[in-house]
Structure 1
Amino acid sequence: MVKAIRFDKPGGPDVMKWVDVEVGEPGNGEIRLKQHAVGLNYIDVYFRTGMYPLPMPGGLGMEAAGEVTAVGAGVTDFKPGDRVAYVARPPGAYAQERVLPAAQVVKLPDALSYEQGASVMLQGLTAQYLLRRTYAVKAGDTIVIQAAAGGVGLLVCQWAKALGATVIGTVGSDEKAEIAKAHGCDYPIVYTRENFTKRVREITNGAGVPVVYDSIGKDTMTASLDCLAPLGLFVSFGNASGPLPPLDASELAGRGSLFFTRPTLFTYIGKRSDYEAMSAELFDVLVSGKVKTSINQRYALADVAKAHEDLEGRRTTGSTILQP
């Protein structure tokens, strides 16, 4: 028997229980994995609260890294002892060990630790598709990233800077402004005391920006739209403050023929070839040092309720690791 987090009804952090679970042998096309580090992400809160419904009882957690301990029939790309990382669904990464399809994991380079791997699969691949595919950021661009001191935000700041962009980011405090600035954010804006739309217009001499990446949702949608230049792209990739209100198409027209997209990671990594290519590019920028992981919190997996409380209370920065 091994330990894992399970919950049988949506609710607050207290619904998560540290229980014994049986992990069987891997079947056809599957691997068994001993997990050394598990990532924490805001989507875990959405699943826990029922915003994103799951069959009950269920598990939580989308990403982790560890060592392959057994492989099932038909698995040729992995063997026991391989170091791997993954982002996968359905949720279930909050566990000491698990069985999952081999197609959902990628090999982790020796130059990266298990903690690094577990901290970047969801957030890092999200940063990759945002900057490289949803809107291909190029040298000379000015971009806006909401929640610049968060896990995705710090990765986006660094990666966009490496691509030659000017980065404007919103943060909730002076402390977070310093963190964002240290990670490549040229203009951290403390939204609790500054009008960030006005500041974006000042910084861009009234022009606005070609793209806004927004993971906050309800509270920032209108202001994000107001930051855009004509033909700009509003990228909504999260709902930390709640789901977006209905968006009237005429709003996009009236603000300058704007574009809107609501991307999801699993669409972008739906093809195994894309998953591997995106992971390879992510690992390359990490190994090169152009982008560094910021693991600023660690909790025992058994104490995940505290981790969720801190995440929802916006008391975390960068990435958080749960230790099985």
Structure 2
Amino acid sequence: MISQSNTEEDKWLEHARGEINFIARELPQKYNVEEIAARCNEQKITVAENQGGYIEFGSRWNNFKQASFSNSQGFATLEIPTEFADDIDVYKLHPALLDNAIGFLGIKEEGAYLPFCYKRLKFLEPLPEKIYSYIRSTKKVQNNTLKFDITIMDGQGRELVEIEEYTLRKIETNTVAVQQKSSVAENQNFCLQISAPGILDTLTFQSMPRQQPGRGEVEIEVGATGLNFKEVLLALGMLPVPSDTHLKFGLECAGKIVALGEGVKGFEIGDEVIAFGDGCFSRFLTTSALSVALKPKHLSLEAAATIPVAFTTAYYSLMQLGRLSKGDRILIHAAAGGVGMAAVQIAQWVGAEIFATAGNPEKRAFLHSIGIEHVFDSRSVAFADEVMQRTHGKGVDVVLNSLAGEFLTKSLDIVAPYGRFLEIGKRDILNNSQLGLKVFAKCLSFFAINVDRQLPNFSDLWHEVVQHFHERNFKPLSYQVFAIDSVARAFEDMAKAKHIGKIVVSLENQDSLAIGENKDTKVSVAFSSKKPKKSVTPAQAYQKQLLEQGLSPAEGVEAFNRILGNTFSQVLVSTHDFRLQIEPDIVSNSPISEATTKDNLSKPTYSRPELTTVYVAPRNEIEQKISVIWQELLGSEQVGIHDNFFELGGDSLLMVQVRSKLQAALNCDISTADLFEYPTINLLAKYFSQTQNEQPAFEQAQERAKRQEAAIEEEMELMKLKRRVI
């Protein structure tokens, strides 16, 4: 493989050399997939679609489902996205599947690695849509070189591809980053804020001054932040926030210490740590040293960021309040979530018998795969009868509950005498829901739990939890990583509650991050040049306008991939909605249409599911505005006016976002309850039309009343004048 330089046409550069030979056809070796997966059980990782990094990949690379690791080997499941399934007929070795299958073990290593060479590749069969990859690390030749042997198999464990000594070499990205960040203040801080609670797209990073650590405090440069459901509820405006409180996002993080306050012992500058804090979605965080612990050396920053909230909450609940011991029966609700999975590990470590619930078949299958026998549906109260049946009417000794309403009372009913009920949910408490006392005749204990730094002896609890990781009693949660510039998508994914384990946001690549001015602190915009202003010609102004309204490189790549994937003879790409000129009666010139057109280029969309209703396109301005918002939030290419929001995959949290966007687009007020009552675009548009028609009628009545009042006053003045004349 050679290439020619653009500047020196007579010179050629050799990159690689090898030989291609035919081999005698042989029967593929067959492996036991389950046995391999069982050997790689120390750590599980999932990766978000299109996550940022040193290199950006297209949609076909969204085939990585899950990987699990042990010390020197890894096992991954990969499946080509449904919309690209026809690729399999074209490629014998699909490049996107092959690329992820041979390189995923590099996820465990810090830094960026690129392929360098391999000793031998044996190709036996074409790759199907779904494959398994088994990688064994042969040796680490140098600090910056990794070598693997790789076997790629189909669903039955048949060997398809065998690669010997596949070699990766680490590349230094810091030098490149420094050159790209010429306008970036090296020590500038920023924090995550939301300008319109309820609309997750308004999550933005604002510049913020760094806080010098005081006595007993440390300053941390954040490398990864764990996302919690409480923060999603705050962003959606579903939890009360005092008017005098500045809303901060990020309760936990992992990073390295960059400054020490007076009196701090046990830490040094440069130490990698895990911490609790307020505002961990920041570049720099200052927090109490009592909330900080040294990161176990065998964990990455992303893995470590899964620990603080989930494991401290679960450990305090089960061990200190629940007094969980070997042989106890425990029911863990939402066991595929962060706290739930931490509780599962702790219960397994103790030797308790676990009963678990989860909200969908995929999550329940996952719980079965990690050794839990008794798994039920968390969206049906039938779990209570099933638990009593499997325990022969005895019930459970401990319940870790995060469900509300009837689910809470049903869970209380199945607690055995002298049992412990551990309530980590907030909804019923904030709603002041009523609870009958009769069930407590069984001498039950009910604990309302909120683990934060105000908890008595919090530091001792926190360091006890981390010590278990140093001793490898516990493992980090399965996690899904989002790049810092995809933080809004991370919130959206958690709001949909379809993830397993933990969502982590990596702050590794900040070069493309847009930072705004913090209006409260009046700090200058970060990442902006301070060069004096120059006069701008009309041509330059027009060029600047085109650049601002155009596509970013990432959006351009995404648009290009979508063009290649269709059969149209001509395609127009624009950030503007040209339907405004083509169909002026259907689409109004609204900011909603223009804003969402550009946003949707980078968001995955899905075809309309099979419904009982026939697709009918929007017929007027209001229906079109509602349709645009639904398509954006549901990720659907088409939404008919008679399609039910919930049959399209919507839920109560998405409905909150719909409400916020509708209020902004239609300049009206609507309750979430009204949206539940009118679950189709047709019904909702009629509701808005009726509301808008009623408003002018009310205003006309007010105007008539004012005119009548003025006429009466005028007539009274005339009568007074007549009396004086007489």
Instruction: Indicate whether the TM-score tops 0.5.
Output: yes
Residue 216 and residue 194 in structure 1: after superposition, are their counterparts in 2 closer, same or farther (change >3 A)?
closer
Counterpart check, 1:210 vs 2:393 = no
Pick from 145, 151, 164: which aligns with 2:338? 151
Matched letter for residue 502 of structure 2: S
| Cα distance in structure 2, aligned partners of 1:215 and 1:244 | 14
Matched letter for residue 310 of structure 2: Q
- What displacement does 1:241 show? 8.6
- Paired residue secondary structure (2:307): helix
- Paired residue secondary structure (2:421): strand
Q: Is the 8 A contact 2:358 2:378 kept in 1?
A: yes
Gaps of 5+ in 2: 1-187, 508-726
TM-score (norm 2): 0.41
- What displacement does 1:246 show? 2.5
Counterpart check, 1:67 vs 2:256 = yes
| Cα distance in structure 2, aligned partners of 1:244 and 1:226 | 21
Q: Which residue of 2 aligns with 1:303?
A: 486
Matched letter for residue 130 of structure 1: S
| Cα distance in structure 1, aligned partners of 2:329 and 2:208 | 49
Q: Is the 8 A contact 2:307 2:477 kept in 1?
A: no
Give per-residue Cα distances to partners, 1:156-186, cap 9 Å, x unaligned.
Answer: 1122012111100011122101211233422
Residue 292 and residue 178 in structure 1: after superposition, are their counterparts in 2 closer, same or farther (change >3 A)?
farther
Q: Which residue of 2 aligns with 1:99?
A: 286
Give per-residue Cα distances to partners, 1:80-112, cap 9 Å, x unaligned.
Answer: 011111123xx3011122222222211112122
Pick from 254, 260, 263: which aligns with 2:446? 260
Q: Which residue of 1 aligns with 2:222?
A: 35
Matched letter for residue 241 of structure 2: P
| Cα distance in structure 1, aligned partners of 2:280 and 2:361 | 33
Counterpart check, 1:221 vs 2:408 = yes
Q: Which residue of 1 aligns with 2:513?
A: none
Q: Which residue of 2 aligns with 1:178?
A: 365
Residue 80 and residue 123 in structure 1: after superposition, are their counterparts in 2 closer, same or farther (change >3 A)?
same
- Paired residue secondary structure (1:65): strand
Give the stretch that moved more between structures: 176-185 or 49-58. Answer: 49-58
- What displacement does 1:240 show? 6.8
- Select the structure with the greater relative contact order (CA < 8 A; seq sep ≥ 6): 1
- Paired residue secondary structure (1:247): coil
Q: Is the 8 A contact 2:331 2:355 kept in 1?
A: yes
Residue 244 and residue 159 in structure 1: after superposition, are their counterparts in 2 closer, same or farther (change >3 A)?
farther
| Cα distance in structure 2, aligned partners of 1:97 and 1:194 | 45
| Cα distance in structure 2, aligned partners of 1:193 and 1:24 | 48
- What displacement does 1:145 show? 0.4
Q: Which residue of 2 aligns with 1:199?
A: 386
Residue 17 and residue 174 in structure 1: after superposition, are their counterparts in 2 closer, same or farther (change >3 A)?
same
| Percent of paired sites with the same residue | 28
Q: Is the 8 A contact 1:218 1:242 kept in 2?
A: no
- What displacement does 1:56 show? 4.5
Q: Which residue of 1 aligns with 2:52?
A: none
Q: Is the 8 A contact 1:231 1:259 kept in 2?
A: yes
Counterpart check, 1:141 vs 2:324 = no
- Paired residue secondary structure (1:159): helix
- What displacement does 1:132 show? 1.0
Counterpart check, 1:313 vs 2:533 = no
Q: Is the 8 A contact 2:241 2:247 kept in 1?
A: no
* Superposition CA RMSD, Å: 2.4
| Cα distance in structure 1, aligned partners of 2:448 and 2:309 | 16
Residue 212 and residue 193 in structure 1: after superposition, are their counterparts in 2 closer, same or farther (change >3 A)?
closer
Q: Which runs of 4+ in 1 moved over 4 A?
A: 240-245
| Cα distance in structure 1, aligned partners of 2:346 and 2:462 | 19
- What displacement does 1:301 show? 2.8
Give the stretch that moved more between structures: 93-102 or 140-149. Answer: 93-102
Residue 177 and residue 92 in structure 1: after superposition, are their counterparts in 2 closer, same or farther (change >3 A)?
same
- What displacement does 1:26 show? 2.3
Give per-residue Cα distances to partners, 1:200-221, cap 9 Å, x unaligned.
Answer: 1011111101111002233521
Q: Is the 8 A contact 1:8 1:56 kept in 2?
A: no
Matched letter for residue 205 of structure 2: W
- Choose between structure 1 and 2: higher strand proportion: 1
| Cα distance in structure 2, aligned partners of 1:243 and 1:291 | 33
Give the stretch that moved more between structures: 1-10 or 129-138. Answer: 1-10
Counterpart check, 1:231 vs 2:418 = yes
Q: Is the 8 A contact 2:469 2:475 kept in 1?
A: no
- Paired residue secondary structure (1:161): helix
- Paired residue secondary structure (1:246): coil
- What displacement does 1:116 show? 2.1
- What displacement does 1:70 show? 1.2
- Paired residue secondary structure (1:170): strand
Q: How many residues align?
A: 318
Q: Which residue of 2 aligns with 1:13?
A: 200
| Cα distance in structure 2, aligned partners of 1:235 and 1:25 | 39
Gaps of 5+ in 1: none
Matched letter for residue 189 of structure 2: V
Q: Is the 8 A contact 2:330 2:354 kept in 1?
A: yes
- What displacement does 1:243 show? 4.6
TM-score (norm 1): 0.89
| Cα distance in structure 2, aligned partners of 1:122 and 1:96 | 20
Give per-residue Cα distances to partners, 1:249-272, cap 9 Å, x unaligned.
Answer: 524335x23221102212785325
| Cα distance in structure 2, aligned partners of 1:8 and 1:56 | 15
